[in-house]
């Protein structure tokens, strides 16, 4: 059965081909069956493979299919590599992916481009599966770029609105910066180790490189660049909030199952390289910490329901990076898994809210929707609890592990831990701000709304609710994968630290309740001071990162484009043309057409030559 692992990416790819080649001529029902079904079958196959693999007790399993390219000493094949890490990833991708597809069959029901939507979604999942299952970095890179392409296609799915196209381009271009860095990293790896097979690289690097050597630092920095781009971390995080332009199931897919988790996967997969460069590993933790705090503050000020969730994703991926940087590899992957559950849940519930309120996205126009949108209410309740790491929800266990891992880091440990706890505090405030504003208080602009969607949209919500609550009790078979890397000694942390990590989210929920639930406190008082207002604007605009990049990169580029509009490079060639024109005009003067002129020039020339002959 394990041999059938090639079915995993192939099924969604077939679904994509079928849907794209029929070009919308299929009936919607058939499209839904092909689109969601291909992922569903893929998930079943993944489940069976997972059970068989775990039962076999093997450390890893390699399935070689066929060679993609073989040039000289370089071989890259479509070979599948299955171990605990890719097992977890493929289950998340197909499982969560299937639920999102199922939800989308209802969400997109009225869209004229139903078939195109599902074809892109299928390709997205296929590319992501390729990414996590490939046994060499070339196949991983193929999936990596495929994911980038699909995100572009889907963010700009409603392309008739130019702003969506702009957001799609932004996502594509910004992640491209990271991809370029990663590609260079791959070249460097191949140049120094002569192979791109991941396991070979990890072994060879361990043998040949010294810890902290320049090569190790360079390679891991370049790979980190790629991961930072895909996972929307500082300094390349600006694309993710704008990616909200796509349909909501896309946001769920990008944030939960595919795309942004790719960077975390890449670092976890090549963790040996990062262990060779402790400096870069610390950098990962710092990047994660700064990103999670920045995104947390930004999420506090947003009013668009999807943008709040987007910034919370950036912040949660920041936690994963913090875990990776702290060397708590399996904690990071654990958080990736629990995050996939509750973030998919939150996004899908947000989609239901948005559709039920006729495409209203501003949370302050919602209000008091507890009774009218019961399923969304409970989805948001459980999703928010998990997101804020409420005790014994899934998020609690994973965030706990990450924070403890951060605490164990030498030197910076306390700072990382403090920042992470601060982030958890922010998370609980902005999450429950959203929750209280949407579902409590006075009814907003929309009265008497009916909750949108049938069983195909509610079913996934219920499954994800259960996942958000209980996924924390799951066991992930990651011990073998990260066996060398993990700090094995037991942390003896005091009960006080555990207590703080439990109390802080509750504190945040309490504050959110005072401000937005009971309205005992008012934000208007805070906002009265000009400093708070300026800070609010600053945070609202995502710490001015977009403005900064516009100043630094976009405007100079536009300036270059503008002065190049009249072809500054062509000026050289224009000059050449002008020169030959002038020459032509001068020489044409001699062509008078008078015979005597020609005779005179011949005679003069002759005299000249003879004179020369005599003189010299």
Partner 1 sequence: MESIPIEHSLILASILFTLGLIGVLTRRNIVFVLMSLEIMLNASGLAFIVGGARWGQAEGQVMFIVILTLAAAEVAVGLGLIIQMYRQFQTVDINVLSEMKG
Question: How near is the Cβ of 585 to partner 1 at its closest, in Å?
Answer: 9
What 105-108 contacts at long range (C-beta under 8 Å, 24+ apart), as own/partner pairs, is 105/32, 105/35, 105/36, 105/456, 106/453, 106/454, 106/456, 106/457, 107/247, 107/248, 107/249, 107/351, 107/355, 107/453, 107/457, 108/247, 108/249
Nearest CA to 42 among 91, 114, 78, 103? 91
Enter the tokens of residue 87. Answer: 């097992």
| Residue closer to partner 1 (CB basis): 23 or 602 | 602
| Residue closer to partner 1 (CB basis): 279 or 600 | 600
| Residue closer to partner 1 (CB basis): 73 or 593 | 593
Question: How near is the Cβ of 587 to partner 1 at its closest, in Å?
Answer: 8
| Residue closer to partner 1 (CB basis): 48 or 602 | 602
| Residue closer to partner 1 (CB basis): 448 or 584 | 584
Q: How many residues are listed for the chain in this entry? A: 616
| Residue closer to partner 1 (CB basis): 566 or 590 | 590
> Coil, helix or strand for 198?
helix
| Residue closer to partner 1 (CB basis): 520 or 596 | 596
Q: Is 451 left (phi over 0), alpha (psi -120 to 50) or beta?
A: beta
| Residue closer to partner 1 (CB basis): 21 or 588 | 588
Question: How near is the Cβ of 591 to partner 1 at its closest, in Å?
Answer: 3
d(CA 75, CA 67): 7
Q: Which residues bind to partner 1, rule: CB under 8 A?
A: 587-596, 599-600, 603
Cβ neighbours around 486 below 10 Å, total:
16
d(CA 462, CA 376): 10
Question: How near is the Cβ of 581 to partner 1 at its closest, in Å?
Answer: 14
Residue written as tokens 């599902």? 118
Question: How near is the Cβ of 606 to partner 1 at its closest, in Å?
Answer: 10
Question: How near is the Cβ of 159 to partner 1 at its closest, in Å?
Answer: 57
Nearest CA to 239 among 193, 175, 295? 175
Question: How near is the Cβ of 577 to partner 1 at its closest, in Å?
Answer: 19
Angle at 423 between CA 85 and CA 309, to 5 degrees: 70
| Residue closer to partner 1 (CB basis): 587 or 615 | 587
Nearest CA to 341 among 431, 436, 447, 460? 460
Q: Which helix (H) or strand (E) holds 408?
A: none
| Residue closer to partner 1 (CB basis): 562 or 585 | 585
d(CA 181, CA 202): 19
Question: How near is the Cβ of 609 to partner 1 at its closest, in Å?
Answer: 16
Question: How near is the Cβ of 592 to partner 1 at its closest, in Å?
Answer: 5
Enter the tokens of residue 307. Answer: 């943008």
Question: How near is the Cβ of 593 to partner 1 at its closest, in Å?
Answer: 3
Question: How near is the Cβ of 607 to partner 1 at its closest, in Å?
Answer: 10
Task: To the nearest 10°, report the CA torsion of 542, 543, 546, 547.
Answer: 140
| Residue closer to partner 1 (CB basis): 207 or 588 | 588
| Residue closer to partner 1 (CB basis): 522 or 592 | 592
> Coil, helix or strand for 35?
helix
Question: How near is the Cβ of 556 to partner 1 at its closest, in Å?
Answer: 49
Q: Which helix (H) or strand (E) holds 236?
A: none
| Residue closer to partner 1 (CB basis): 578 or 607 | 607
Question: How near is the Cβ of 594 to partner 1 at its closest, in Å?
Answer: 5
Q: Which residues of 272-303 are buried (b: 16+ CB within 10 A; e: fewer)?
A: bbbbbbbebbbbbbbbbbbbbbbbbbbbbbbe
Q: Is 84 exposed, middle or buried (0-12, 13-18, 19+ CB in 10 A)?
A: buried
Enter the tokens of residue 120. Answer: 């892109």
């Amino acid at each position: 059965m394990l041999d059938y692992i090639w079915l995993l990416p192939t099924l969604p790819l077939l679904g994509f081909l079928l849907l794209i080649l029929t070009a919308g001529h299929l009936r919607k029902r058939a499209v839904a069956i092909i689109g969601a079904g291909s992922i569903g079958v893929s998930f079943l196959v993944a489940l069976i493979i997972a059970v068989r693999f775990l039962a076999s007790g093997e450390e890893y399993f390699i399935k070689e299919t066929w060679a993609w390219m073989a040039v000289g000493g370089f071989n890259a094949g479509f070979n599948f590599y299955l171990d605990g890490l890719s097992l977890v990833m493929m289950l998340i991708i197909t499982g969560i992916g299937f639920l999102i597809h199922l939800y989308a069959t209802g969400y997109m029901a009225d869209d004229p481009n139903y078939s195109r939507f599902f074809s892109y979604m299928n390709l997205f999942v296929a590319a992501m599966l390729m990414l996590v299952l490939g046994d060499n970095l070339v196949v991983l890179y193929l999936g990596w770029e495929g994911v980038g392409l699909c995100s572009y296609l889907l963010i700009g799915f409603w392309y008739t609105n130019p702003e969506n196209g702009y957001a799609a381009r932004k996502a594509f271009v910004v992640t491209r910066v990271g991809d370029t860095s990663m590609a260079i990293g791959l070249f460097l790896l191949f140049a120094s180790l002569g192979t791109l097979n991941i396991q070979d690289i990890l072994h060879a690097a361990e043998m040949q490189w010294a810890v902290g050597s320049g090569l190790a630092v360079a390679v891991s920095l370049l790979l980190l660049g790629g991961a930072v781009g895909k996972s929307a971390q500082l300094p390349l995080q600006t694309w993710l909030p704008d990616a909200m332009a796509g349909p909501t199931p896309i946001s769920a897919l990008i944030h939960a199952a595919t795309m942004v988790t790719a960077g975390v996967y890449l670092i976890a997969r090549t963790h040996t390289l990062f262990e060779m460069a402790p400096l870069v590993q610390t950098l990962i933790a710092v990047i994660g910490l700064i990103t999670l705090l920045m995104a947390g503050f930004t999420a506090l000020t947003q009013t668009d329901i999807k943008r709040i969730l987007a910034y919370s994703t950036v912040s949660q991926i920041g936690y994963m990076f913090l875990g990776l940087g702290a060397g708590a590899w399996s904690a990071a992957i654990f958080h990736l898994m629990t995050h996939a559950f509750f973030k998919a849940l939150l996004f899908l519930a947000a989609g239901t809210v948005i559709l039920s309120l006729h495409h209203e996205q501003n949370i302050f126009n919602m209000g008091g929707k507890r009774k009218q949108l019961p399923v969304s209410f409970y989805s948001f309740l459980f999703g928010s609890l998990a997101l804020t790491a409420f005790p014994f929800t899934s998020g609690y266990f994973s965030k706990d592990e990450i924070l403890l891992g951060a605490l164990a880091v030498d030197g910076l440990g306390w700072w990382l831990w403090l920042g992470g706890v601060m982030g958890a505090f922010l998370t609980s405030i902005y999450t429950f701000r959203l929750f209280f504003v949407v579902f409590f208080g006075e009814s907003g602009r929309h009265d008497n709304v009916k909750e949108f969607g049938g069983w195909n949209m509610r079913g996934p919500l219920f499954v994800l609710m259960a996942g958000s609550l209980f996924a924390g009790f799951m066991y992930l078979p990651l011990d073998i994968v990260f066996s060398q890397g993990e700090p094995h000694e037991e942390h003896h942390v005091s009960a006080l630290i555990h207590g703080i990590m439990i109390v802080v989210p509750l504190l945040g929920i309490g504050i959110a309740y005072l401000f937005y639930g009971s309205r005992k406190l008012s934000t208007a008082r805070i906002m009265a001071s000009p400093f708070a207002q300026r800070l609010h604007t600053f945070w609202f605009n995502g710490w001015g990162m977009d403005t900064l990049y516009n100043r630094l990169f976009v405007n100079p580029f536009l300036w270059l484009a503008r002065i190049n509009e009249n072809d500054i490079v062509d000026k050289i060639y224009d000059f050449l043309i002008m020169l030959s024109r002038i020459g032509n005009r001068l020489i044409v003067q001699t062509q008078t057409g008078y015979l005597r002129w020609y005779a005179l020039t011949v005679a003069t020339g002759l005299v000249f030559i003879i004179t020369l002959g005599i003189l010299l």
